[in-house]
């Protein structure tokens, strides 16, 4: 029982903890919160420090929903666990069409526009290709959500510095952050090049 309770407790704590940077700084802490950030922005809600002042009802609604969600899960999971486990035995030939049907129906019922269905199919094909190429989805979602914010802030910084990029290395904090980002990007590449000769030698 401890082997089951430990990972589940850690999983619930990680899911809840990822909301802290989202609500306080506007930075998603996981792929799921990145999707939630995109949904909030689409509804005109900007998570961050001003959220507590401008729209406190959104913040407290999220907090209350976590308490209520845990209670509902506790009430529903105990009697329904045997039936939920049987879903794992459902053949993929039946489960996949059901998922596609409910996904397409849900997208169409939002706006009753066939273009949304075509857009969903297009992104599904792109996601499938990226999955086959072993691209991780969480960083791509984070980049998709945070890309607009980065562009806005870069444009604002360029306006302040009269179009010059010198602020990237003249300010110590900016220089340190950029150096860390470059190091994080280059270290895996360097490690990959170092592993290739070792792999060749081991194969020989």
In tens, the pLDDT along 112-130 reads 888 888 888 898 888 888 8
pLDDT bracket for residue 196 (50, 70, 90): low
- Is residue 71 domain-shared with residue 105, that is, in the same domain? no
Query: Is 145 inside a domain boundary?
Result: no
Average pLDDT, rounded, for the chain:
79
**CA geometry: angle 150, 121, 30, nearest 5 deg:** 40
Domain count, the chain: 3
162-176 pLDDT, tens digit per residue, is: 767 776 777 788 788
> What pLDDT does residue 202 have?
60
pLDDT bracket for residue 76 (50, 70, 90): confident
Query: Is 147 inside a domain boundary?
Result: no
pLDDT bracket for residue 89 (50, 70, 90): confident
- Is residue 25 domain-shared with residue 46, that is, in the same domain? yes
Q: Which two tokens stand for residue 99?
A: 């998922």
As a residue count, the chain comes to 204
Span 140-148, mean pLDDT? 72
- Is residue 76 domain-shared with residue 1, that is, in the same domain? yes
Query: Is 23 inside a domain boundary?
Result: yes
Q: How far is it, in rounded angstroms, from Cα 91 to Cα 15?
A: 29
> What pLDDT does residue 120 have?
86
Domain of residue 179, residue span:
165-204
The rounded percent of the chain whose pLDDT value lies above 90 is: 0
- Is residue 63 domain-shared with residue 113, that is, in the same domain? no
- Is residue 38 domain-shared with residue 67, that is, in the same domain? yes
User: φ and ψ at 88, to 5 degrees?
Assistant: -65, -25
The rounded percent of the chain whose pLDDT value lies above 70 is: 92
- Is residue 74 domain-shared with residue 103, that is, in the same domain? no
Span 90-104, mean pLDDT? 84
> What pLDDT does residue 29 have?
72
Span 57-71, mean pLDDT? 84
176-190 pLDDT, tens digit per residue, is: 888 888 888 888 788
- Is residue 81 domain-shared with residue 101, that is, in the same domain? no
Q: How far is it, in rounded angstroms, from Cα 199 to Cα 204?
A: 9
> What pLDDT does residue 173 have?
81
């Amino acid at each position: 029982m401890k082997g089951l309770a430990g990972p589940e407790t850690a999983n619930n704590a990680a899911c809840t903890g990822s909301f802290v940077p989202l609500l306080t700084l506007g930075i998603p802490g996981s792929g799921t919160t990145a999707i939630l950030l995109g949904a909030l922005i689409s509804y005109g809600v900007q998570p961050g420090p001003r959220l507590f002042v401008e729209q406190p009802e959104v913040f407290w609604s999220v907090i209350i929903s976590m308490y209520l969600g845990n209670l509902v899960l506790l009430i529903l999971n105990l009697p329904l666990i045997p039936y939920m486990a049987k879903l794992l035995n459902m053949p993929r030939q039946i489960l996949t069409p059901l998922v596609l049907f409910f996904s397409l129906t849900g997208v169409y019922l939002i706006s009753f526009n066939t273009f949304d269905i075509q857009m969903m199919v297009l992104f599904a094909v792109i996601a499938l290709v990226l999955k086959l190429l072993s691209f991780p989805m969480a960083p791509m979602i984070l980049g998709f959500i945070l890309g607009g914010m980065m562009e806005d802030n870069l444009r604002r910084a360029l306006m302040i510095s009269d179009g010059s990029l010198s602020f990237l290395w003249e300010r110590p904090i900016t220089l340190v952050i950029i150096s860390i980002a470059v190091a994080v990007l280059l270290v895996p590449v360097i490690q990959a090049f170092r592993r290739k000769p070792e792999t060749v030698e081991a194969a020989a």
